[in-house]
């Protein structure tokens, strides 16, 4: 079994365990024990901390993915890469914190009228961002070493268990809301500390600066790459978090709480893609280093097809059970139904465009990814300014969908023109038709009042119809051979010279 299979299966299992805990926390617990305004505050704090951290890391996580293979040498302690990365991350955090304090009056003016609670918790963002900064740095370092399961487990599962405990303490009135927020921040620090201990356990905690000639030779491309990727990553962070922040500014924290909750549910669609992406990112970097263009192309084709199959199944499960999903949360959240549809569609488009972003950003033409990101950020902000006043949170979802479609089309065409790689085949079209046909069938299933029974029936129909078509027509050797390994049914097995999973 290949490294992609071993790691992606583990990561997918971790992502789904984390997703289950995330749904428990966000959909069942937070919405029922906190007000929508309080839910909105926790969401906004998290969103701002992510943006804060992505700027403060100064592009070091992306630099690690791109350049660590050149410095990787266990005997030489990776030529001091960990030490210098830590230095730049710390300086980046100090710079960002100064800017965060200096621009406080300007930021406060944006939220004082509609979301005054943000003002009370403004400085709580600094420690939350600090933990996020170092978690991102430690995670990228381990990812470059192809050690992805433990950091993913900490971020996706362990952190959510800690949050569940924090919510329980608040629900039982052991702590008040302010103390809950402090514990929430403490949970973030704890997982970062555990990740540091894991690095020490692996004997990869090297604090010597190193004296390799590589620094002199690669300094200019590293600085140039870092300056571009910091803007690209920051743009990506703006894309993910700007909706909630603008809703809090233009509408209210309560509306932001509703939107970020629905956004989180829709994000469950991308879990398999995120697990494969974490593995393929450093692999694509290595392929570029060794000029293995065919390997990049093969990986691009296979991941795109697999993501269409898995993404199709997940979007069917989410859309097919939408009525039951909304029965688990307070009625005030039902205003986000159309936002849910739009966000699911946007995430699906993001998945099926494959690895175009990773291919671009790890290539010599990485600068163009920044240009595309700038287009995306500008489009997102402008569309939010137009649609939020007109359609509320549905307008924010519409803006996100339009922006993501434009963004991914630009990157798809760019990779096609510059690297002669285009991942879509006739099989992709058949999968799209099967997905649409299955959705039409589920649409005619009568709704049953009992949400548990309804979920079971709809999911069973989707599983039987959709997966039977996918497996019997054998669109993907990787999917069929994985099904064969789990079931032992010989008719599912496909011959393939080399597939991503084996």
How many CA atoms lie within 13 Å of 471's alpha carbon, on the beta-carbon side?
18
pLDDT of residue 72: 62
Q: Specify the pLDDT at position 386.
A: 94
User: Is residue 329 within 8 Å of 264, Cβ to Cβ?
Assistant: no
Choose among 385, 401, 382, 408: nearest CA to 339: 401
DSSP 134-149: HHHHHHHHHHHTT--H
Confidence (pLDDT) at 176: 92
pLDDT at 500: 45
pLDDT in 10s for each residue of the chain, 502 residues:
345 555 556 666 777 777 788 878 887 888 888 888 888 888 888 888 888 887 787 777 777 766 666 666 666 665 667 777 788 888 888 998 998 889 888 888 888 888 888 888 888 888 988 988 888 888 878 877 777 778 888 888 888 899 899 999 999 989 999 999 999 899 888 999 998 898 888 877 767 666 666 666 666 777 777 677 677 777 777 777 788 888 988 888 889 889 988 888 888 787 777 777 767 777 787 787 777 888 888 888 888 888 888 888 888 988 888 888 888 888 888 888 899 999 999 888 888 886 787 888 778 887 787 788 888 888 888 999 999 999 999 999 999 899 888 888 888 999 898 888 888 888 889 999 999 999 888 888 777 778 888 888 888 988 889 988 888 888 877 788 777 777 777 767 766 544 444 4
Q: Where are the domains of the chain?
A: 3-282+290-492
* Residue 404 pLDDT: 86
Q: What is the pLDDT of residue 382?
A: 93
CA distance 221 to 219: 6
- Helix, strand, coil tally for the chain in percent (to 5): 85, 0, 15
pLDDT of amino acid 66 = 66
- pLDDT of 355: 79
Predicted local distance difference test score (pLDDT) of residue 87:
81
> For the stretch 445-484, what's the b/e string if a residue is b when 16 or more beta carbons lie within 10 angstroms of its beta carbon?
eeeeeebeebbebbbebbeebbbebbbeeebbbbbbbbbb
What is the signed CA dihedral for 63, 215, 292, 475, rounded to 10 degrees? Answer: -20
Which pLDDT does position 182 carry in this prediction? 92
Q: Which two tokens stand for residue 488?
A: 């032992």
């Amino acid at each position: 079994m290949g490294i992609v299979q071993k790691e992606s299966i583990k990561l997918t299992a971790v992502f789904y365990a984390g997703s289950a805990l995330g749904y428990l926390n966000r959909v069942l617990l937070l919405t029922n024990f906190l007000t929508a305004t309080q839910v909105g505050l926790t969401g906004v704090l998290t969103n701002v901390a992510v943006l804060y951290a992505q700027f403060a890391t100064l592009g070091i996580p992306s630099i690690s993915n791109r350049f660590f293979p050149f410095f990787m040498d266990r005997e030489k302690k990776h030529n001091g890469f960990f030490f210098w990365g830590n230095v730049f991350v710390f300086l980046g955090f100090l710079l960002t914190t100064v800017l965060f304090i200096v621009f406080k009056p300007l930021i406060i003016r944006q939220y004082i009228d509609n979301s005054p609670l943000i003002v009370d918790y403004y400085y709580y963002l600094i420690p939350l961002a600090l933990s996020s900064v170092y978690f991102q740095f430690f995670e990228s370092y381990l990812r470059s070493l192809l050690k992805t399961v433990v950091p993913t487990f900490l971020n996706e599962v362990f952190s959510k268990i800690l949050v569940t405990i924090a919510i329980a303490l608040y629900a039982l009135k052991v702590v008040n809301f302010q103390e809950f927020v402090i514990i929430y921040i403490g949970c973030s620090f704890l997982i970062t500390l555990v990740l540091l201990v894991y690095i020490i356990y692996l004997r990869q905690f090297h604090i010597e600066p190193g004296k390799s000639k590589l620094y002199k030779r690669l300094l200019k491309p590293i600085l140039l790459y870092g300056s571009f990727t910091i803007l690209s990553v920051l743009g990506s962070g703006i894309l993910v978090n700007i909706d909630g922040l603008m809703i809090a500014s233009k509408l209210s924290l309560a509306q932001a709480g509703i939107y970020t909750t629905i956004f989180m549910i829709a994000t469950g669609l991308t879990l398999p893609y995120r697990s494969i992406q974490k593995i393929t990112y450093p692999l694509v970097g290595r392929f570029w280093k060794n000029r293995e263009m065919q390997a990049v192309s093969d990986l691009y084709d296979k991941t795109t097809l697999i993501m269409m199959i898995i993404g199709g199944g997940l979007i069917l499960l989410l859309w097919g059970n939408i009525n039951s999903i909304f029965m688990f949360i307070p009625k005030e959240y039902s205003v986000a139904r159309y936002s849910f549809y739009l966000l699911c569609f946007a995430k699906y488009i993001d998945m099926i465009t494959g690895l175009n972003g990773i291919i671009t950003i790890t290539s010599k033409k990485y600068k163009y990814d920044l240009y595309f990101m700038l287009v995306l950020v500008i489009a997102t902000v402008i569309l939010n300014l137009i649609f939020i006043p007109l359609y509320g949170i549905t307008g924010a979802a519409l803006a996100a969908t339009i922006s993501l479609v434009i963004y991914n089309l630009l990157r798809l065409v760019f990779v096609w023109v510059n690297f002669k790689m285009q991942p879509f085949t006739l099989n992709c079209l058949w999968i799209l038709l099967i997905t649409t046909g299955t959705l039409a069938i589920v649409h005619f299933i009568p709704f049953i009042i009992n949400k548990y029974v309804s979920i079971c029936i709809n999911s069973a129909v989707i599983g039987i119809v959709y997966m039977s078509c996918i497996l019997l027509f054998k669109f993907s050797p990787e999917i069929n051979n994985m099904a064969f390994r789990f079931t032992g049914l010989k008719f599912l097995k496909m011959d393939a010279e080399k597939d991503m999973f084996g």
